[in-house]
Chain A
Amino acid sequence: MTMDINPFKELFSSLTQISQLNFEVWDDKGLVFSSGPDGTDVSISRQIEDFSTYVMSQAVFQHACFNGQQAIFGVPIRNEEKIIGTLLAYGTNSKKSSKPKAMNSRKMPKAKEMETLLTRLTGIMEDKWIDVKERNEIAEELSQSFEDLHLYSRIATQIKTLRFSNSMQNNLVAEILKTMRVDLSFVMMPERQENNVIVADENNSVKIPNPESFVENLLNTIPPDAPSLAENYFMVANSLTNTEYSELHNHPFRFLTIKIYHKDKFYGWLGVVSFNIKEKFRRSELRLLISMAEQLATVIANTDLYHDLERFIINMIKSLIYAIEAKDVYTRGHSERVSDYCMLMADHLELGKGEKSILQWASILHDVGKIGVPESILNKQAALDDEEYKIIKEHPTRGYNILQPIEQLSAALPGICHHHERYDGKGYPNGLKGKEIPLNARIIAVADTFDAITSKRAYREANGAEKAMTIIDEVAGTQLDPYLVSVFKEIYNKDIACGREEQTFLLEVSR
């Protein structure tokens, strides 16, 4: 520790002015401070230095004479028990002239008094230095907690918005790099390589030629029996102290990685690398990374669960539709085709992602109510009587009732319930008119009509697409929404007509 004399300079200078004593601080290398005027005689200086060395070696108060009769006093200065220098005092007049003028012995302070004074003064200095040191240590700790707080506040925001998408993960990994001030950060998942993220600081002077293989090597070098793995992490504080790791990069580095782990399922590793080995990974950083890895694992697990559920529901619905279509040989593939047409129209109408998804559910399920209609009616070759027709007309309401318990499909229900309403108000079940009919129902009605005309029925053969378009055009404004018919015409010309022939052929074969 160096001696910071600055806070005491004024004190010593004032003491010199009133006491005719010079105060000097020395360390083992030479003079650190003198309260007297500059330009001490070299020969005197030499003697004083010798005296200082003597005081340091004796480690207690000393007094002596130099230049024959000049008295000099000195005490050691300690820092935590170790002697680091001396505080000396001698009469000022000795320096002013080369002609030594003896100080009156009566004027000269007694050794005992000087010992007390000098000991008190060094005591003050030593206390001050200890205080400063402690204060700096506290401030350093405070500074570290500021870093932690900053880190937490930045990462917490990222975690809050974390969804399992690549861009979010990129943000998280980039934020870790920035806030933890490391040189490389990564998420590596062996079974989901498409989600792997490695971010390296491009401005760094130390280059990693192939970050991906570097990270792979880091992970492959983890000893499987490392005790810290029980707590889901592994750390190398300095690669130089670890032969296997020192081979991975010619510049020494430190490395910390955490298992991404949720309910006994291992997903991969979240980790950081820094080439600044002067700093260490702090306990708080480890804790933060562990909690981030936990969050990440939870998000991945939830996303998996969500996708599983979604797939399960889609498959359930498909089975449901196959069940209806199994009863009616003529409408096989109808629901899917209607849904396809609806999606083309939705794109043309520039519906949002959410609206589109609702329309998709509504269109694929629009005939689900036919499950309650007897096969004899569905497949009847002759014209239907009033009673049979009444049963057929119940299918939109039946569909509504069947799906109503499924809360997640509630938005799709109006489209299903009203797809047989007519634009002129003569449809069923509610006789809604014009824009009273929900948009989805009007869209489905157009697609449904087109597919019905172009499909084979129990009572008639399939009509050609061109004829279907003519019929649809005729009922625009009465049965169907004229604007949506015009939309359908456009998508027909653009998307359907060209692929239609081939499609019909395939459908014929499958029947």
Chain B
Amino acid sequence: MEIKKNILVIDDDAHIRRVIELKLRNAGYQVLIAKDGEEGLNLIESLHPDVVITDIVMPKLDGRAVCMKADEFKKEWPFLTLIITCSLTFDEKKWVNTMKDTQFMEKPFSPNKVLQCVDQYLGIER
């Protein structure tokens, strides 16, 4: 099954990128990869992905800044931001809650659940 939806994965950890990429690609999605927040943000702006999966702690531009900027983009076109990170602090939960279409998952995460979450947002039934 091929699904014409772009998913952007931003993480500085190669093995995490690889696992998410593989899971989503095998499920039929087109997957884009960015190794840091800056690269990620450029890809969001140029390619308008349908879902952005991002870490918080990253070099150059951290996940929080990416999410803030993404929230502005969402005024122009909708997409889901899925934050995957080690446990969120209370403060972080607060700002995550103020963002549009933003969810989070804690590491260690389940790749199956990531796929489930993406499918659900995009209305894909398997």
Q: A139 near B109 (CB under 8 angstroms)?
A: no
A149 at the interface (CB under 8 A from B): yes
B contacts with A: majority SS: helix
B112 in complex: contacting residue of A140, A142, A152, A181, CB < 8 Å: A181
Given contact pairs A143-B19, A146-B110, A147-B110, enumerate 9 new A-B contacts (beta carbons under 8 Å).
Answer: A139-B19, A139-B21, A140-B22, A143-B111, A146-B19, A147-B111, A149-B108, A150-B113, A151-B110
CB neighbors of A among B1-40 (8 A): 15, 18-19, 21-23
A136 at the interface (CB under 8 A from B): yes
B110 in complex: contacting residue of A135, A136, A140, A150, CB < 8 Å: A150
Q: Closest CB-CB distance, A505 to chain B, in whole Å?
A: 62
Q: Please, how many angstroms separate the alpha-carbon atoms of A142 and B108 in the complex? A: 12
A142 in complex: contacting residue of B19, B109, B110, CB < 8 Å: B19
Q: Closest CB-CB distance, B120 to chain A, in whole Å?
A: 12
Q: Please, how many angstroms separate the alpha-carbon atoms of A140 and B25 in the complex? A: 12
**Which residues of B pack against A, CB within 8 Å?**
15, 18-19, 21-23, 108-113
Q: A147 near B22 (CB under 8 angstroms)?
A: no
Q: Closest CB-CB distance, A150 to chain B, in whole Å?
A: 4
Chain A residues contacting B108 (CB-CB under 8 Å) are: 146, 149-150, 152-153
Q: Please, how many angstroms separate the alpha-carbon atoms of A431 and B14 in the complex? A: 76
Interface residues on chain A, number (Cβ under 8 Å): 15
Q: Closest CB-CB distance, A479 to chain B, in whole Å?
A: 54
A contacts with B: majority SS: helix
Q: Closest CB-CB distance, B7 to chain A, in whole Å?
A: 15
Chain A residues contacting B21 (CB-CB under 8 Å) are: 139
Q: Please, how many angstroms separate the alpha-carbon atoms of A143 and B15 in the complex? A: 9
**Looking across the interface, which residue of chain A has its beta carbon closest to that of B109?**
A150
Q: Which 10 A-B pairs have the closest CB atoms?
A: A149-B108, A150-B110, A139-B22, A143-B111, A143-B19, A150-B108, A139-B18, A153-B108, A142-B19, A146-B111
B109 in complex: contacting residue of A146, A152, A181, CB < 8 Å: A146
Chain A residues contacting B23 (CB-CB under 8 Å) are: 143
A116 at the interface (CB under 8 A from B): no
A250 at the interface (CB under 8 A from B): no
**Looking across the interface, which residue of chain A has its beta carbon closest to that of B16?**
A146
Q: Closest CB-CB distance, A144 to chain B, in whole Å?
A: 9
Chain B residues contacting A143 (CB-CB under 8 Å) are: 19, 22-23, 111
B18 in complex: contacting residue of A142, A152, A153, CB < 8 Å: A142
Q: What are 16 residue pairs bridging A and B, where the CB atoms are less than 8 Å apart in the complex?
A: A139-B19, A139-B22, A142-B15, A142-B19, A143-B19, A146-B19, A146-B108, A146-B111, A147-B112, A149-B108, A150-B108, A150-B110, A150-B113, A152-B108, A179-B110, A181-B112
**Looking across the interface, which residue of chain A has its beta carbon closest to that of B15?**
A142
CB neighbors of B among A124-173 (8 A): 135-136, 139-140, 142-143, 146-147, 149-153
Given A147-B111, A179-B110: A136 touches B22 (CB 8 Å cut-off):
yes
Q: Please, how many angstroms separate the alpha-carbon atoms of A404 and B18 in the complex? A: 65
Q: Please, how many angstroms separate the alpha-carbon atoms of A152 and B108 in the complex? A: 9
Chain B residues contacting A146 (CB-CB under 8 Å) are: 19, 108-111
Q: Please, how many angstroms separate the alpha-carbon atoms of A152 and B22 in the complex? A: 22
Q: Please, how many angstroms separate the alpha-carbon atoms of A351 and B113 in the complex? A: 46
Q: Closest CB-CB distance, B53 to chain A, in whole Å?
A: 14
Chain B residues contacting A149 (CB-CB under 8 Å) are: 108
Q: Please, how many angstroms separate the alpha-carbon atoms of A143 and B108 in the complex? A: 11
Q: Please, how many angstroms separate the alpha-carbon atoms of A136 and B26 in the complex? A: 10
Q: Please, how many angstroms separate the alpha-carbon atoms of A136 and B109 in the complex? A: 19
Q: Closest CB-CB distance, B46 to chain A, in whole Å?
A: 20
Q: Please, how many angstroms separate the alpha-carbon atoms of A143 and B112 in the complex? A: 9
Q: Closest CB-CB distance, B126 to chain A, in whole Å?
A: 11
Q: Closest CB-CB distance, A186 to chain B, in whole Å?
A: 22
Chain A residues contacting B19 (CB-CB under 8 Å) are: 139, 142-143, 146
Q: Please, how many angstroms separate the alpha-carbon atoms of A146 and B15 in the complex? A: 10
Q: Please, how many angstroms separate the alpha-carbon atoms of A17 and B112 in the complex? A: 45
Q: Please, how many angstroms separate the alpha-carbon atoms of A151 and B108 in the complex? A: 9
Q: Please, how many angstroms separate the alpha-carbon atoms of A149 and B18 in the complex? A: 17
Chain B residues contacting A140 (CB-CB under 8 Å) are: 22
Q: Please, how many angstroms separate the alpha-carbon atoms of A147 and B15 in the complex? A: 14
Q: Please, how many angstroms separate the alpha-carbon atoms of A179 and B110 in the complex? A: 8
Chain A residues contacting B112 (CB-CB under 8 Å) are: 147, 181
**Looking across the interface, which residue of chain B has its beta carbon closest to that of A178?**
B113
**Looking across the interface, which residue of chain B has its beta carbon closest to that of A150?**
B110
Q: Closest CB-CB distance, A174 to chain B, in whole Å?
A: 16
**Looking across the interface, which residue of chain B has its beta carbon closest to that of A137?**
B22
Q: Please, how many angstroms separate the alpha-carbon atoms of A181 and B113 in the complex? A: 9
Q: Closest CB-CB distance, A331 to chain B, in whole Å?
A: 58
Q: Please, how many angstroms separate the alpha-carbon atoms of A147 and B108 in the complex? A: 8
**Looking across the interface, which residue of chain B has its beta carbon closest to that of A181?**
B112
Q: Please, how many angstroms separate the alpha-carbon atoms of A136 and B25 in the complex? A: 11
Q: Closest CB-CB distance, B47 to chain A, in whole Å?
A: 18
Q: Closest CB-CB distance, A484 to chain B, in whole Å?
A: 44
Q: Please, how many angstroms separate the alpha-carbon atoms of A136 and B108 in the complex? A: 20
Chain B residues contacting A139 (CB-CB under 8 Å) are: 18-19, 21-22
Q: Closest CB-CB distance, B40 to chain A, in whole Å?
A: 20
Q: Please, how many angstroms separate the alpha-carbon atoms of A179 and B116 in the complex? A: 12
**Looking across the interface, which residue of chain A has its beta carbon closest to that of B111?**
A143
Chain B residues contacting A135 (CB-CB under 8 Å) are: 18
Chain A residues contacting B15 (CB-CB under 8 Å) are: 142
Q: Please, how many angstroms separate the alpha-carbon atoms of A139 and B113 in the complex? A: 16
